[in-house]
Amino acid sequence: MFRYLFALLLIVFSVFLTECDKEDDSGTKITSLKLELSKNRIVGDSIDYAKVTVTSQDGVNVIDLVKIYYRGAEFVGNNIRSAIPSQSTVYAMYNDIKSNEAALEVVEDRNLKFVKNVLMEQYTGTWCGWCPRAIFQISTLEKTDPYIVHVAHHLSDEMTYNLNMSLFQSFSFTGVPTVHADRNIVWQGNISDINKLHSPSRVGITLDVSGTAQMISAKVDVKFGYDFTEELKLSVYLLHDSLVSTQANYYNTDPASPWYQAGATMQNFIHRNVMMKSGTDMFGDVIPSSAIDIGSIYTKKVDFTSFTSNDLNKMVVVAFVTWGNGSKSGQVNNVAVARPGQKVEFRYSGN
């Protein structure tokens, strides 16, 4: 009888130990695992990644308790990156409990990286005597940097677009001249600051512009080099390249200024790339997440009407993509510019 009870106790104790092996340190019993990837396709550049999450049957995050297996081998961490194009699976293990397998494709990094243009938004006014300094700095930059796109937002003068002030105030700016580069930095004239913004982009833009004196049409194609998990927005603006008006000039008595003795109020001053109309929200229209994938192209057509121009060749269309959320929310991803009769193609970067 004693031997029978002893054997029974051993069996019970063994079962108890087995059950304990499937509990975490808090005593939560794990009976099943669910593995999910933030995306199922990444670019093979060792930078793009798919984030792994693993939950128990109760929806509890147990990523720290499991082992992750990728391409048949244990993977340390929960952000999977790779430089090798492949198709494989990812799964998790907790003791003898295995999760579902999730497919992960690593795409060759080819024609997925683009030359990065920089958007230079200048807040100005004909009444602003200090603004000629910023006008000259941008003009000088354009002579050495062909990859900048200039937009002049006039405030409180005859060339003001009605939404300029709301855009200006949204960034908590308080005075002009203010030059905003890529909606990222306030530019003080240092060219090296702009050079840093030219790192290749994972968004490419083509722009095909046509028009008449009554309507200008812009067809915009956006190609994605990543399957972005962040929200992206597309903005399309119409500009006038050469509006003539006056310009206040506080540098009239400064011999070191290019505007020396040009007049305290300069006459017949040419104001370039003046914002006239927006074909989207000023902060951009959301690009549907369903349209965003590695190598996919999103197309939007915008028509501009009710504008004034004596010369169609002076009209300019600017299209740019910004992040809608995330750590870079509001910043410009890439920008393109074209005139009526012009088509700008994707420009791929080899870097």
User: First vs last Cα of the chain: how many Å apart?
Assistant: 80
pLDDT band, residue 309 (cuts 50/70/90) = confident
**pLDDT by residue (tens digit) across 227-239?**
999 999 999 999 9
- At 10, give phi and psi (nearest 5°): -60, -40
State the Cα–Cα distance between residues 257 and 251, nearest whole angstrom: 6
3-state secondary structure of 131: helix
Position 322 in a domain: yes
Q: Which of 107, 129, 151 is the last residue of a domain?
A: 107
Same domain as 61, residue 143: no
Domain boundaries, position 95: 29-107
pLDDT digits (tens, 9 = 90+) for 128-154: 999 999 999 999 999 999 999 999 999
**Residues 84 and 126 placed together within one structural domain of the fold:** no
Determine the average pLDDT of the residues in 297-313: 91
Q: State which of 58, 85, 107 marks the end of a domain.
A: 107
Q: What contacts 91, CB < 8 A, 6 or more positions away?
A: 35, 68, 69, 98, 99, 100, 101, 102
Angle (nearest 5°) at CA 249 between 248 and 251: 170
pLDDT at 67 over 80: yes
Residues 82 and 216 both lie in one domain = no
Judge whether residue 2 has pLDDT over 70: no
**What's the pLDDT band for 330 if we cut at 50, 70, 90?**
very high
Residue 318 has pLDDT above 60, yes or no: yes
Please write the tens of the pLDDT for every residue from 275-284. Answer: 999 999 999 9
H helices of 153-263, where? Answer: 164-170, 191-195
Please check whether residue 7 lies inside any domain of the structure: no
| Cα within 13 Å of Cα(66), Cβ side | 27
What CATH number does residue 54 fall under?
A: 2.60.40.10
Asked if residue 324 and residue 199 are part of one domain, the reply reads yes
- Residue 329 DSSP label: T
Same domain, 215 and 162: yes
Same structural domain, 47 and 142? no
User: Widest CA span of the chain, in angstroms?
Assistant: 117
Alpha-carbon torsion, ordered 22, 27, 33, 36, to 10 deg: -140
pLDDT of 131 reads 98
Tens digits of per-residue pLDDT, 92-108?
999 999 999 999 999 99
The per-residue pLDDT for 28 is: 64
- 123 and 161, same domain (yes or no): yes
Asked if 248 and 157 sit in the same domain, the reply is yes
CB contact at 8 A, 70 and 42: no
Query: Is residue 26's pLDDT more than 80?
Result: no
Residue 27, pLDDT above cutoff 80: no
**Rounded distance, CA 274 to CA 121, Å?**
10
Predicted confidence (pLDDT) at residue 338 exceeds the cutoff of 70: yes
pLDDT classification of 25: cutoffs 50, 70, 90: low
Average pLDDT taken over every residue of the chain = 92
Mean pLDDT (whole number) for 22-51: 87
Pairing of strands 41-43, 102-107: parallel
pLDDT at 15 over 50: no
Assigned domain for 87 exists: yes
Q: Average pLDDT of 308-313? A: 82
Same domain, 186 and 88: no
pLDDT for position 310: 74
pLDDT score, position 261: 98
What pLDDT band is residue 351 in, cutting at 50, 70 and 90?
low
Domain limit, last residue, from 54, 83, 107:
107
* Residue 189 and residue 310 in one domain: yes
CA–CA separation, 117 and 120 (whole Å): 10
Q: Is residue 3 part of a domain?
A: no
For tokens 């937009």, name the residue: 151
Q: Are residues 101 and 145 in the same domain?
A: no
1 within a domain of the structure (yes/no): no
Domain count, the chain: 2
Q: What is the pLDDT of residue 311?
A: 86
**Do both 98 and 236 map to the same domain?**
no
The verdict on residue 234 lying in a domain is yes
Query: What is the model's pTM?
Result: 0.89
Residue 199 lies in a domain: yes
Assigned domain for 4 exists? no
Closest CA to 116 of 147, 158, 160: 147
